[in-house]
Structure 1
Amino acid sequence: AKLEDDYVVSDQVIGEGAFGSLRILHRIGSTRDRICKTMDKASIPDRDAFAREITTQMSLDHPNICRIFDYFETEGDIKIVLELCQGGDIEHAIQEVGQFSEPDAHCIMAQVLRGVRYMHSQAVAHRDLKPENFLLKDKVLVTPLCESTVKIIDFGFARTFTPGKKSLKTACGTPHYVAPEVLAGGAYDERCDIWSCGVILYVFLSGDPPWDGETAEEIAKTSAAGRLSFEDPVWHTVKPTAKVAIMQMCKLDPAARFTAERALGSPWIATAPSREDEGDRVTQHAEVREAIVQRMSRFSHQSRCQKALVHLVAHSLPEKELALLRQAFQEIDADNDGTLSLDEIRSATRGAGVALTDDVFEGIELRGEADAQRGIEWTEFLASLASSRLLTNRDSCLDAFRVLDVNRDGSVDVQELIRMLASRAGSDQGAADILARADLNGDGHLDFEEFVQLMRTFGAEGTGCFQSGKARASLCTAGIR
């Protein structure tokens, strides 16, 4: 398959660096835009490592980790299709505005740390965190930094680790941001990412890195000394708790260094002003809390085949709806681990007039009993609250159809679809019968219009969406009153 079969590549470059370029993509037949990361094959010395990067990033499911939708390979380059982030990388934002205000730095850093905490809970260390590897969902001139959504990208150095052990060995990263133990030649653990976060926060608040040098070796030598200076006048107006957070994240001894969880609970992160002030919380509205419980209950009783189809297109909602759902997810995620436990959902929806039951909670996810203790992840949350909306939206149908049309011939093989859904959702004979009946001309394939009718059949029990209204957070639905 070719990228050009599904997308029109814009001339607009929103990011550029050693990795290649980022450009806007227009999806053919859809109103949804995405971005394309183009990389010259010659710049990828280890293709196996690159394949691991793609696999690792696709396995992570969090609101602050950039999602991969597609992957194309040509003779000379590799193109990765990512979710749309029009604001470019934060490195460029720093160059435009200099140091960030303290509320801006807090907003960005809190999101980065949430993403890092989730990665570490999945036993993944990024190992190259830096402003260049954070994308902003919207342009700074359109959406203020304190209201922006951040997405972590570039998992080229990411590796899985053994929790509780120093199981990482490769020296890698970027000179100004890499932890000293990574370059020391021995084994190290995931807290190397926390050192990078401390340096990044220092850069956010001052506009400059805490140590410098003419060469990578000189930078490594000064950072290994671990001496942080807050003497520049720019630090005079910064809260002491922010400086303490930086020092705790940049402890030379990794064992004494903050974890991502402790960093999120530090006084500066926990108390600094943010866009999630109590007066602006989505889940403070009783009608939203009730709708969340009822939507989840309805979704849990859908067939496993329906759930599998919704999971395919869960990220196809309009951005305004995604933004409100993202905010609700983070409000419910009290411990910031990137998943929602039954207790967290019950706590957030207290007073809704109806409680979420154990069987509803277990019915939301498709991963099986072995993973039930992990809680509900971001995509599952989206699917459970917007399933009918997604199954009846033409853009969402197109996204699903393009995923299922493997050979790009404009049709989906019915038996192959049944097998694919069975592998995701287990046996579901009723759904298989519906799929077979959807093949109106009996040729064993579904064209796009037949597929749209199939999706609408699955989503016929009601529609609804998260949308802003008078309260900016009311959950509208035809099926919930």
Structure 2
Amino acid sequence: MDLFKQQNVEDFYDIGDELGSGQFAIVKQCRERSSGLEYAAKFIKKRQSMASSRGVRREEIEREVTILQQIQHPNIVTLHDVYENRTDVVLILELVSGGELFDFLAQKESLSEEEATQFIKQILEGVNYLHTRKIAHFDLKPENIMLLEKNVALPRIKLIDFGLAHTIEAGVEFKNIFGTPEFVAPEIVNYEPLGLEADMWSIGVITYILLSGASPFLGETKQDTLRNISAVNYEFDEEFFGHTSDLAKKFISQLLEKDKRKRLSIQDALSHPWIKSNELREENKATEPKRRERRQLKTKRLREYTIKSHSSMPPNNTYVNFERFAQVVEDIDQMESSFSSLAEAHDSLQEDIDALVSIYNEKEAWYKEESEAVRHELSQIRYEFRKVEASKRTLQDDMQTFSCSLAAVSERFQERQDHFDALRLELSNELQWVQEVVGSLPVDGGGGGYPSCSFTTVFNNDVNEALKELLNRSCGGELLSGINLDFTETGQQR
């Protein structure tokens, strides 16, 4: 609702002492900071969920506010402002500080019917204003009939508490079971369609109590009370109504009519002779003592009724308990929220852990596979290394053997070289001798009978053959060609 101000009421009003409380509401005195005017702040607990039965549903609060916004009458409390926070809707209402009507009347020494009609008429005028606008209060009872102030000759009546009020729409059937059992109409008890007539029945009960100090239908139990209402089981006991006028009793009887169509309407009640006339005047002070005593008993019985009705109701700490309960619920909600966050964090963490475990398992399997492959390769490398080491040792042995063989060959080669050098020297000496011998032979001596042959040539050929044979035997043919070449060259030179 747009008219619910989403602001902190304490920013604009100083909240004071408690004035009263109901099941889900508490009323405190407050002062408007901007104007300094006194008001009453009605804190209504909102129902936090559809499943909950604690608190007032928001639509019901909106209905009450909507009705109060339509009302502007001297005998009805007026609405000044509306605020809303997370847990409450706060109605800033006209301050009604005179207390309950019955408490005020119970403190009087005596009460005449004329005085009673003055207060009843104010109640009727307030209800007439409502019924003209098709608004039924549905909770008229002494606790909801207050005085604006009490230190005046004729206090002004103020009707309060419109939590059950409804606008009666033509053609729309409305049924409900609500209200205070002592004051509800039979149609409410029997769960029949409701209308403005239910308020008139409540006014009849209020008038009965006001004039007698007794409740017409009140039984030992709630069920007894409701049965008495449904059966319209009441009477004008002579003890209580011995000095009450017939007009007053007729007024009450016409209001306590089970048939709604026969029950007095608000206009009928306002024009009733008991209200219109001043038949019963306030008795002067010279009235006989006995009669005055009875009048005092009337107020005493009213006082007894008010004391009994207040004492029979246990202290209503519902709102305070509800605040505590709401705080506990809020704490539980916060804890549940924290638990939910923890659960979400746990789930998220569990998912991360599962993912890490999965990765770890995959890595572990991969590492095992890789480890097996590496282990196999390492074993293969070790095997190959051992083979290489064996080959290396074999090669070293072969190299050592080859070195030994090479050393032996080298020694043999050296021996052969020395032997060769000796033979060459010897051969060179022999050749030199042969050359000297050949050189000493006559050149033209001829061929000894062989004219075509030179002795030198033949001799050289024989020498060559002899030398080859010698070299083959001594050196195995090594250096043969070189020696032959040298010899030939020497022969040619010669």
Question: Please, which of 11, 24, 27 is the counterpart of residue 29 of structure 2?
Answer: 24
- Residue equivalent to 1:256: 262
Greater Rg, structure 1 or structure 2?
Answer: 2
Give the superposition deviation at 1:35: 1.2
Deviations 1:137-157 (A, max 9, x none): 003xx234xx11111122222
Counterpart amino acid of residue 160 in structure 1 = T
User: For the structure 1 residues 55 and 5, does the alpha-carbon distance in structure 2 shift closer, same or farther, using more than 3 Å as the test?
Assistant: same
Q: Give structure 2 stretches of 5+ with no counterpart.
A: 1-6, 48-53, 282-494
* Counterparts in 2 of 1:273 and 1:240: CA distance versus 1, 3 Å: closer
Superposed CA deviations along residues 70-97 of structure 1, whole A, max 9, x for unmatched, are 1122333332111121112335446656
* Contact 2:228 2:234 (8 Å CA) reproduced: no
Q: Tell me the residue number matched to 1:244.
A: 250
Larger deviation, residues 1-10 vs 193-202: 1-10
> 1:228·1:247 contact (CA, 8 Å) conserved in 2?
no
Q: Any residues of structure 2 matched to 1:102-181 within 5 Å, and which?
A: 102-139=113-150, 142-144=151-153, 147-163=154-170, 167-181=173-187
What TM-score comes out, normalization by structure 1 length? 0.52
Contact conserved, 1:119 with 1:125, CA < 8 A, in 2?
Answer: yes
**1:106 and 1:272 in contact (8 A); partners too:** no
Which residue type is aligned with residue 105 of structure 1? A
Equivalents in 2 of 1:230, 1:115: separation in Å? 27
1:98 and 1:207 in contact (8 A); partners too: no
Indicate if the aligned counterparts of 1:100 and 1:206 stay in contact, CA closer than 8 A.
no
Q: Secondary structure at the match of 2:183?
A: coil
Residue 38 of structure 1: aligned partner: 43
1:308 corresponding residue in structure 2: none
- 1:394-438 deviation digits (Å, cap 9, x = unpaired): xxxxxxxxxxxxxxxxxxxxxxxxxxxxxxxxxxxxxxxxxxxxx
In the alignment, which of 197, 221, 226 is matched to residue 227 of structure 2?
Answer: 221
Offset, 1:208: 2.3
Q: Output the TM-score relative to the length of structure 2.
A: 0.51
Q: Which residue of 2 aligns with 1:14?
A: 19
Determine helix, strand or coil for the equivalent of 1:35: strand
Identity of aligned residues (%): 33
Cα separation, partners in 2 of 1:225 and 1:125, compared to 1, 3 Å: same
Which structure shows the bigger proportion of residues in helix conformation? 2
Shift, 1:56, TM fit: 1.1
Q: Which amino acid aligns with 1:128?
A: D
Q: Secondary structure at the match of 1:256?
A: coil
The residue that corresponds to 1:196 in the other structure is: 202
Q: Counterparts of 1:7 and 1:93 in 2: how far apart (Å)?
A: 30
One-letter amino acid of the counterpart of residue 48, structure 1: E
Counterpart-to-counterpart distance in 2, 1:273 and 1:232: 21
Q: CA deviation at 1:100?
A: 5.2
Instruction: Pick closer, same or farther for the CA change 1:110–1:216 going to 2, 3 Å.
Output: same
Task: Provide Cα deviations, 1:284-335, integer angstroms capped at 9, x if missing partner.
Answer: xxxxxxxxxxxxxxxxxxxxxxxxxxxxxxxxxxxxxxxxxxxxxxxxxxxx
Question: Partner amino acid for 2:98?
Answer: G
CA drift at 1:240: 1.7
Structure 1 counterpart of 2:11, which letter?
Answer: D
Contact 1:166 1:188 survives alignment (8 Å):
no
**Structure 2 counterpart of 1:27, which letter?**
E
> Using the alignment, how far apart are the partners of 2:23 and 2:277 within structure 1?
37
Q: Distance in 2 between matches of 1:95 and 1:175?
A: 23
What SS does the corresponding residue of 1:252 show, helix, strand or coil?
A: coil
Greater Cα shift, 16-25 or 201-210: 16-25
Q: Counterpart in 1 of 2:341?
A: none
CA change 1:98–1:181 in 2 (3 A) is farther
The residue number in structure 1 matching 2:241 is 235
RMSD: 2.5
Contact 2:102 2:210 in 1 (8 A): no
Q: Secondary structure of the equivalent of 1:208? A: coil
CA deviation after TM superposition for structure 1 residue 198, in Å: 0.3
* Closer, same or farther: CA 197–203 of 1 in aligned 2, 3 Å: same
Alignment CA distance shift 1:98-1:54 (3 Å): farther
SS in 2 for 1:213: coil
CA displacement at 1:63 relative to structure 2: 1.6
Task: State whether residues 29 and 39 of structure 2, in contact with CA within 8 Å, keep that contact through their aligned partners in structure 1.
Answer: yes
Q: What SS does the aligned partner of 2:184 have? A: coil
Contact 2:197 2:260 (C-alpha < 8 Å) held by counterparts? yes
- Pick closer, same or farther for the CA change 1:93–1:47 going to 2, 3 Å: farther
Report the CA distance shift for 1:101/1:258 in structure 2 as closer, same or farther (over 3 A): same
Secondary structure (helix, strand or coil) at the match of 2:41 reads strand
Aligned pair partner of 2:79 in 64, 68, 77? 68
Measured in 1, the distance between the counterparts of 2:32 and 2:130 equals 30
Q: Which amino acid aligns with 2:29?
A: I
Residues of 1 paired with 2:114 and 2:27: CA distance?
28
